[in-house]
Amino acid sequence: LAPSDYHLFGPLKRELAVKRFDDDEELVDHVRKWLQNLDGSFFREGIYSMLWQQQRSPSSEKSGRAPLASRRNTNSSGSLVSSILTYGCETWTLLADTERRIQAFENKCLRKLLRISYKDHVTNESVRELVVAYVGLQEPLLATVKRRKLAWFGHVTIHDSLSKTILQGRVEGKRRRGRQRKAWCDNIKEWTGMAMDKLVRSATDRDAWRQKTDSSALRSPRRPHRSRD
């Protein structure tokens, strides 16, 4: 059994207290049927209750490491960790591996704040649901990076500057052979689903571009599968 299965003992004890069995096989069959009839909410609520009791235990208070129980802790994490991580993220060119690293780092930070180990067999989705239950809905770190990149694109587009010339300019000559490296603007086109000429026209309207930024930052387009044949 994993530590995340310990919440089963109480309900199972109450279930078996009023039953009588002739042999061990009948007991095993009854327990298996009981587990199969349980829905997902039973396990989710049991794990959350177990984690909450663990965080309120005297050992956690003596250690001085308070769990994530208030919005103040989350704000402190955002100001001390996320702000350093996302410094200059407007200039990043996000690859698939970069996005996975950002998500993995955020999940690791949330688990540290909640004091949930990977050995507890708690999924990342359950960890995020627990964060929402404690402090409310939070913007994912990857969505923050996307939103800041999109906002910077709109800022550069509506002003005549050297940054706009570099960003939207073209270099003379031929492109090298083989697959081309992903450019900075490729992220913007991928997240919005728009061509460059439409992006430039859309960015001139600030209100519409803000709405486009918010919707595109939270959207995760499905990447096409590339065969190795």
DSSP H helices in the chain: 9-17, 24-36, 40-55, 58-62, 71-77, 83-85, 96-114, 124-135, 141-157, 162-168, 184-192, 196-203, 206-218
Whether pTM > 0.85 for this model: the answer is no
* pLDDT tens by residue, the chain, 229 residues: 455 566 677 788 888 887 888 888 888 898 888 888 888 777 666 666 655 554 444 444 444 444 444 455 555 565 667 777 888 899 999 999 999 999 999 888 888 878 888 888 889 888 888 888 777 777 888 999 999 999 999 999 888 888 888 887 777 888 788 888 888 889 999 999 889 888 888 888 888 888 888 888 776 544 444 444 4
**Residue 69 structure tokens:** 């129980």
DSSP H helices in 24-85: 24-36, 40-55, 58-62, 71-77, 83-85
Rounded Cα–Cα distance for residues 60 and 52 (Å): 11
Domain ranges of the chain: 65-138, 142-170+182-218
Rounded Cα–Cα distance for residues 76 and 72 (Å): 6
CB-CB neighbours of 217 under 10 Å: 22
For the chain, counts of helices (H) and of strands (E): 13, 0
